[in-house]
């Protein structure tokens, strides 16, 4: 019998942005993304993720303050490299930060941060957020050159962008899965810890959850969309069961 410890099952962090998207469509006080976050925690989610964008299209400043008051798992704040957003992140009290690209014309984040091009700004942002007390990650495409650049900055984590995998089918998806698997291997070889997310749903998550070394999955839209029919509690527990079953 093997004496090796089994690989830890990835944690599920639920992104609550699109609950706020529905709320902002009417500028109402409901549905409340903070209440929804608490429901996710109660159903077993290991953390809550949100993205405070410069254009405030979904999450608002007040949401961050309220989330910090009530979230008891882990609060992960996604933000851009814009100086004003970094200043807000520093005072947010979040336990984790993920630096992401931001384009005002995009519907959602469309790709990983170009670490090589953004190295000068990252050299400023990473120490600022580290000193604020949070673990810093960079949302990154599964590209060895980008991973090497992230490792050179001294960040503890990267979050692999799974969008190309999620949008592909057949042989192309298989190739993207292999690319993510190799990226996880490479990241760990250069001293990085690995999370993953973007576009993951109830059909495509299990192969990502099965990748050795991935510690955390950030999943939002699919849980929000399905919960319109099935309820948030059932959707979170179903996703947890799917992730737990992905590894032997």
**pLDDT, tens only, 167-225:** 999 999 999 999 999 999 999 999 999 999 999 999 999 999 999 999 999 999 999 99
Look at the alpha carbons of 102, 106, 110, 114 in this order and tell me if their dihedral is positive or negative: negative
Is residue 237 in some structural domain? no
Q: Is 60 helix (H, G, I), strand (E, B) or coil?
A: coil
- What percent of the chain has pLDDT above 90? 92
Is residue 128 in some structural domain? yes
Is residue 150 in some structural domain? yes
Is residue 239 in some structural domain? no
218 Cβ neighbours under 8 A, 6+ residues apart:
13, 15, 49, 76, 98, 159, 195, 196, 197, 198, 200
Is residue 235 in some structural domain? no
pTM: 0.93
Under the banding of pLDDT at 50, 70 and 90, the label for residue 120 is: very high
* Whether residue 51 has pLDDT greater than 70: yes
- What percent of the chain has pLDDT above 70? 94
Is residue 122 in some structural domain? yes
E-strand spans in the chain? Answer: 11-15, 47-51, 75-79, 96-99, 135-140, 157-161, 193-197, 214-219
CATH number for 101: 3.20.20.70
Is residue 247 in some structural domain? no
Report pLDDT digits (tens) over 127-178: 999 999 999 999 999 999 999 999 999 999 999 999 999 999 999 999 999 9
228: its two tokens: 């319109």
Catalytic residues: 51, 78, 198
Q: How many domains does the chain have?
A: 1
Domain, as residue range, for 118: 21-215
Mean of the per-residue pLDDT values of the chain: 94
Is residue 244 in some structural domain? no
């Amino acid at each position: 019998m093997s004496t090796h410890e089994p690989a830890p099952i990835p944690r599920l962090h639920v992104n609550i942005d699109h609950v706020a998207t529905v709320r902002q469509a009417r500028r109402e006080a409901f549905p409340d993304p903070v209440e929804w976050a608490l429901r996710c925690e109660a159903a077993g989610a290991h953390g809550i993720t949100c993205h405070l964008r410069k254009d405030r299209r979904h999450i608002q400043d007040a949401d961050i303050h309220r989330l910090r008051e009530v979230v008891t798992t882990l609060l992960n704040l996604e933000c851009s490299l814009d100086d004003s957003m970094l200043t807000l992140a520093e005072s947010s009290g979040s336990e984790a930060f993920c630096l992401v690209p931001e384009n005002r014309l995009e519907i959602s984040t469309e790709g990983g941060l170009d670490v090589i091009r953004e190295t000068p700004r990252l050299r400023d942002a990473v120490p600022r957020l580290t000193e604020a007390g949070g673990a810093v990650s960079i949302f990154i495409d599964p590209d060895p050159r980008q991973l090497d650049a992230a490792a050179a900055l001294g960040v503890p984590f990267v979050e692999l962008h799974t969008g190309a995998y999620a949008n592909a089918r057949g042989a192309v998806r298989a190739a993207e899965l292999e690319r993510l698997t190799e990226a996880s291997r490479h990241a760990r070889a250069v001293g990085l810890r690995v999370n993953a997310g973007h576009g993951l749903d109830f059909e495509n998550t299990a192969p990502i959850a099965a990748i050795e070394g991935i510690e955390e999955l950030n999943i939002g839209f699919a849980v929000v969309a399905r919960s319109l029919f099935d309820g948030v509690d059932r959707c979170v527990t179903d996703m947890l069961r799917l992730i737990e079953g992905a590894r032997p």
